[in-house]
A and B are shown apart, each in its own frame.
Chain A
Amino acid sequence: MSATLEVRNLRTHFFTRAGVVKAVDGVSFTVGRGKVMGLVGESGSGKTVTGFSIIGLVDAPGRVVEGEILYQGRNLAKLSEEEMRSLRGNRIAMIFQDPMMTLNPVLRVDTQMIETVLAHEKVSKEEARQRARDALGMVGIPSPDERLKSYPHQFSGGMRQRVAIAIALLHRPELIIADEPTTALDVTIQGQILAEVQKLAANTGTSLIWITHDLSVVAGLADDIAVMYAGRVVEDGPVSEVLDRPLHPYTHGLIGSVPSRNKRGEPLRQIPGMTPSLLKLPAGCAFRARCPRADEACLAEQKLEELLPGRHARCAHPHKDEVPA
């Protein structure tokens, strides 16, 4: 399997007045060609910062302090801003949770889309418009010719997100980083967008990193999954295997707390406590304080190790030989 992107030991830290926040602290994963990789975690787990680090959008006081982001043999973390700009929006695109982060409210959609095309390619304006039109059609926007002339506020939330996805698709990127793109949408609209995305990934061979907190979305969409906790990947592997047989107690607990996994009316299995502050992470396993399996062994630093073929977990006491949650 040839990989589109390989992230090795990525560390992105924020140097704030209160101290160093290790938002991403040693993250490694691989995204295969044409594959959908689900990056799952709760708020503050560093999943969004990981996405921003890949596409080079980490602002001060944050900085990628260590690690490699390998794309076609080049380390994105070491590229100059100019080189990065020629890739961003061209070979690697991003979709944000809020489409208004992508769209300029005072410009018509066609202006913005044509600008995006011309930023990376020397084509005529007419051809650029044609490309924009096709992209809108591809994401299922009815009457794309008329919609090109609309302003963002004239679209509904779901339609705006489609426009943002269309812009990401303009240059047929090899990798799209999608940061919670359907979280703010209603379920029926979310279903529509997910269906479009699935179709696109299958038809164009684009790889996707799908950042979300919603395990159910990842279950239906992704090929592989990486679960993050407090700035680190605690478990990864093929989606079905990770969800059916989670190794890490955190993944185990997370899956167990999904309401549909519990008997109706019975108390939900819950993970006690809350996510630790990234400013003062305990030494060793960060999940230690909330983990039912923790003991002295967890005080030591844990490594992400291959415990089963193709399955990695960062745990001293993994759920290795057990039936699913």
Chain B
Amino acid sequence: MTGGAVNGSTGARDVAVVAFAQTVHVRAADNLSEVEMLMPVLREVLDRTGLSAGGIDFTCSGSCDYLAGRPFSFTMALDGVGAWPPISESHVEMDGAWALYEAWVKILTGEAETALVYSYGKSSAGDLPEVLTRQLDPYYVAPLWPDSLSLAALQARALLDAGETDERELAGIAARSRNAAEDNPWAQLGGSPGADALLESAYLAMPLRLHDVPPVTDGAAAVVLAAGDTARRLARRPAWIRGMDHRIDAHSLGVRDLTDSPSTRLAAERAGLFDPGAPPPGLAELHAPFTSQEVVLRKALRLGADTVVNPSGGPLAANPVMAAGLVRIGEAAARVSRGEARRAVAHATSGPCLQQNLVAVLESDGSEGGGGGKGVGQGQGTGTGEGPGTGEGPGTGQGEGGHT
């Protein structure tokens, strides 16, 4: 980059995640419209912070028309916010993690003290791997309709060929993720028979098996951000955003080294993850929909054994496209707020084979205990008591979903 761009880790103001809510993620929330799916998480973060839509200074959402097959679908989702009197509001056609980034910048300008961020997606409406082909180069690639699963498998093969991983490690990532998800009541899939048993299964897209692949998920998430003392007032243990940055790589797979993610590394550097003297993060929430992508991200983020990866189960346990990245930030923030880690890194991705990546470094104040009071996550302290989400969706068991 040209000189002088301000480092993402030295924001002029302290900004924190003060509330996070997500739906119970399901294979198909087909009894609900998007706004019906979204509204409970909006209400939950607002109620928990005691704010109304009008009391929020800036609102930003992330969603994608192509998921549901309807142009302007975000205009209908706005009905769930209660945007009256009119609100200062924006929308990105990106994962909600980037909506959070836009809101963070808005607070950094000083124009806002608080921000509401939300995103949602009903991947069940279409054939997701096919829908995602429409993201690809419209002249040279999209006419071949290469599904997202096949492209991820190309990346996995490149990693295997380079000796960066093996199929057992990938199965281990799957088992670890889905076992972790058993502790996550919002996850779609949970539990695993273990790597040995997983390796017995057939290939879905060689070299990927079903366990390497995320489920198809409907879901939504919402976050409230606040600056400085406002954050301290709204949450007992805010999760401070120490730095945040995002970068994009070249689009074409044929010009990229698929075993690496330079954009993730650069974003992490700019977000302050590698700052001299900074301790390694206690936990990482990585938006790695495929097991093999976790391998790439761990390398780019220089994560070692002292970092717990995806304690929520990650996108292998629930992958609500357009919200999955925001969920990573929310999960990391909630865990930092609960005291599970003093420092955490959250990551979001977009595009084929990790083309675009966002990294946020979150920290707690550290010193005092975190028990009681208003935490960031759900089910903590003064929750609303009302269920957060789409509880009526059909139950989904292990092995269901996937891109099959």
Partners in one complex: no
